């Protein structure tokens, strides 16, 4: 299944540059220095506020950010989120695999086992007490029979 989003909004290239820069953890000053034109922090800030960026500047920024110019021009948050959530690669029929490692609450398991152990222990203790009483009763019965 392929979903195509039809979006009438104009893509603000400056905002895309800012998002890509923030995603990569790059500061404006560092991004400026990564470009061949060695832009200042103020210039990067100005570029990020533009709706359309001049092609040569856009090319420099795309290279510095490790993306293509087309990616910046066609960037869409909704498509990006959809692609991340539905990471399908139809070439090899693979889907995203999540490393599923459920967290087991070991303390509740241990508590449950200890409660069962205490319960079993109390049952055994009660059985010993009952047997002790029976032995004492038998001893009295034997003593009485010997006296008769």
The domains of the chain are located at 13-93, 106-148
Entry pTM: 0.50
pLDDT at site 134: 95
The share of the chain scoring above pLDDT 70, in percent, equals 75
Tell me what pLDDT residue 74 has.
Answer: 86
CATH-assigned architecture of domain 13-93: Orthogonal Bundle (1.10)
The DSSP line for the chain is --------SPP-HHHHHHHHHHHTT--HHHHHHHSTT---HHHHHHHHT-SS--HHHHHHHHHHHTS-HHHHHH--HHHHHHHHHT-EETTTTEE------PPP-HHHHHHHHHHHHHHHHHHHHHHHHHHHHHHHHHHHHHHHHHH-
Q: What is the mean pLDDT of the chain?
A: 83
Q: Is the pLDDT of residue 75 over 90?
A: no
């Amino acid at each position: 299944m392929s979903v195509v989003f039809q979006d009438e909004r104009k893509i603000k290239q400056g905002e895309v540059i800012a998002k890509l820069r923030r995603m990569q953890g790059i500061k404006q000053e560092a991004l400026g220095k990564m470009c061949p034109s060695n832009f200042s922090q103020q210039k990067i800030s100005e570029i990020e506020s533009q709706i359309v960026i001049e092609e040569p500047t856009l090319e420099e920024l795309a290279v510095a950010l490790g993306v293509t110019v087309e990616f910046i021009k066609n960037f869409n948050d909704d498509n990006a989120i959809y692609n991340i959530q539905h990471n399908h690669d139809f070439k090899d029929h693979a889907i995203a695999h999540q490393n599923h490692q459920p967290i087991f609450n070991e303390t509740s398991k241990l508590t449950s086992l200890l409660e069962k152990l205490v319960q079993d222990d109390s049952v055994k203790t009660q059985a010993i007490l009952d047997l002790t009483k029976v032995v004492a009763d038998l001893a009295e019965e034997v003593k009485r029979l010997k006296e008769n």
